[in-house]
Amino acid sequence: MSTQGYQDELRSEQRYVDGLYARLDTERARVRTRYGAALRSTGVSAMDRDVEVRALAKEGKRLDVADNGVCFGRLDSTDGETRYIGRIGLFDEANEFEPLLLDWRAPAARPFYVATGAAPEGMRRRRQFHTRGRHLADFTDEQLGDPSGADQGDAALLAAVNAPRGTGMRDIVATIQAEQDEIIRLDHPGVLVLEGGPGTGKTVVALHRVAYLLYTQRERMERQGVLVVGPNPAFLHHIARVLPSLGETNVVFATVGELLPGLRVTAEDAPTAARIKGSLHMLDVLAAAIADRQRLPVEPLTIDLADVTVRIDAETAQWAREEARASGRPHNEARAVFEEIVTYVLTERAIGRIGKGWLTRDDREAWEQLRADLVAELAGNTAFAAALDELWPVLTPETLLAQLYSSPERLTVAGADPALRRADGAAWTIPDVALLDELHELLGRGEPVDDTAERERRAEVAYAAGVLDTLVAREDHMDDEDHLFAQDMLFGADLAERFRERDTRELAERAAADRDWTYRHIVVDEAQELSAMEWRALMRRCPGKSFTVVGDLAQRRSAAGATSWAEVMDPYVPGRWAYRSLTVNYRTPTEIMAVAAAVLAEFAPEITAPESVRACGVQPWARHVDHDELATAIAEFVQDEDGREGTSVVIGPPEVPGTVPAAATKGLEYDAVLVVEPDRIRTDGPRGAAELYVALTRATQRLGVLHTRELPRSLRGLNHPATAATAR
């Protein structure tokens, strides 16, 4: 294409993009008008109005999101058809079946991501737009199916990966690669395990997969929502805007430590304690701790009633305990069985003593009346209530676990490792959350269900039914134009619903506040770090077992984490999980990846480092400093990077001021990274080498190393900054 031809084509494409924005603005104005009318509407029920307002608000957000690069490309087929691809679908105003713009998730848009010269998918050309706001800056063409055509297909990708990093992860909707698209659109109903080394884009691919599932399974997915689990709040903040940028909001973001609403994590476990708490042996420990609270009396417990004194002896409590345990109910709910058996025994004994000489079982009515009186008396007897609390107490997860941790005797009885002992039993750590969640299942509700709301609802229904009866009675005496037909109200409950106050929170807000909420799909990032107990907590939150699991076994730091995906998945979804891997590194340049690959080869030689798609032209460097020079050298790096575009971070061991632990940077990326004291990072525990690997692979442009003691062998080839091509 000549220069003049290119400029003419660019102006033509700009006119088309202008038309798309005009259509977008028209649709947005229409939705805003309808939204305002819905808010003011008085002719419909509150429920109908609420449904419409929510739907229009969501549509408005979707259209606002599309304003940021509504169209990013075009496909030309071999039969002359042209398709424009963008963030959302737009249709001709006069013909709603005529697409002006295809949603990137639509099946017809798939060739934009997967067509190649060897497999053109019926396409002859792929055109990629580069926009700034609503302005089309330029475009690049890739000829498909023509070996002699100029291949510029990587231009958009390289521009994206070379761009300076901002404060959060960006979507890749305009530059999805073929191997990524195959995973995003994978039709698999169970668990998808997506593994990839640093920089392979596994996290952003998983998020785009969520957006795709929400597009293709909208009704089912939106009823329950999606949970995204990440390793720390910084990571979740980093990725939080990806799904909203794709128009999806019914998503809850949480760490494992945030799975129990209202619980505050205030402490950190030593590695040994974390490993113990993460093992499935804790199931036996928790069960034993509960069983230890289901006591038998050493001496009979005396209950004084009005006409007789009865005692709960060990034999009675033993029978009641066996029946309660055999019921299969959670501990707190099984207390009713325990109480029922004890009550039966005590009333039988009391009747025998009170009615001795004058009452027999043949006098059934008198016998049962006396039993009813005794049952009522026991129910109000404080000594009986105290005896039940002693023998079968109502327990909360927090109380049980805190008392277990703070008591060496209880730990011994439960068969727990003494390493779990701590003075403040309620100083919760992240591994405690999974144990508390398990105890919620084992204990059940702590108090009887409050049925006040249900009783009020039944009263409302009864009232509404009465209103209907009145309407029916009056129907024959009113003109059709002047009354509401009773048949328009199908049931009393329908009318009652009009008067009830509703929860107006968004789905994500309601789900995050409800421990018992179950999700349609769950994404787990940095999944190699999760313990077996944490997987149990997540699996119960998704009964359909629909997961996207993202991780890299080579980066595992936690001693309680996964050593293989099969050991994690087979107990829950045998035969229902699929494995896919990403092998191309889009983030880390070859110069930096070569350094990280040498570290990987030392501690995990069986794993191949991902292959980088680009070079940055800047060589990593290492500089030895004296201990008293370290702080100054770090400050110089920070000051230098402050003058550059993009982001930077200093990663080092906890004892070095001004550094961030490598674990806190997992999943994040920065233009420049300074790694301080790599040998200390490497020797910090059995997985310290994995931590160093993580630290070295966060940089997208520049990597430096500061050290006061000898470098690890794998880093000794790094040049001093004075001789390295650092382009400072």
DSSP 8-state symbol, 271 = H
Answer for the pair 576, 692: CB distance below 8 angstroms, yes or no: no
pLDDT of residue 118: 82
Specify burial of residue 1 (Cβ count, 10 A radius: 0-12, 13-18, 19+). Answer: exposed
Q: Could you report the per-residue pLDDT of 568-627, keeping only the tens digit for each?
A: 999 999 999 999 999 999 889 999 999 999 999 999 999 889 999 889 999 999 999 999
203 in a labelled binding site:
yes
Q: Can you spell out the DSSP letters for 104-164?
A: TTSGGGTHHHH--SS--TTEEEEEEEEEETTEEEEEEEEE-S-TTS-B-TTHHHHHHHHSP
In this structure, the number of other CB atoms found within 10 A of the CB of residue 579 comes to 13
Q: What is the pTM of this model?
A: 0.83
**What is the structure's pLDDT at 335?**
97
The whole-angstrom separation of Cα 340 and Cα 504 is 41
Given a cut of 70, the residues of the chain with pLDDT beneath it are 146-163, 165-167, 357, 447-504, 722-728
Tokens of 89: 């679908």
**Helices 590-603 and 688-696: crossing angle, nearest 10°?**
170
Known binding residue 202? Answer is: yes
With 0-12 / 13-18 / 19 or more C-beta atoms within 10 angstroms meaning exposed / middle / buried, residue 383 is middle
Question: What is the helix (H) or strand (E) element at residue 518, kind and residue range?
Answer: none
The gap from C-alpha 656 to its chain's centroid, in whole angstroms, comes to 32
- Is 277 annotated as belonging to a binding site? no
- The answer on whether 200 is annotated among ligand-binding residues is yes
Say if residue 199 carries a ligand binding annotation. yes
Q: Which of 452, 443, 485 is nearest to 468 (CA)?
A: 485
Q: Is 201 annotated as a binding residue?
A: yes
Tell me whether strands 699-707 and 670-676 are parallel, antiparallel or unpaired.
Answer: parallel
Annotated binding residue at 196?
yes
Measure the CA dihedral 338/344/346/352, to 10°: -170
CB 199 within 8 A of CB 588: yes
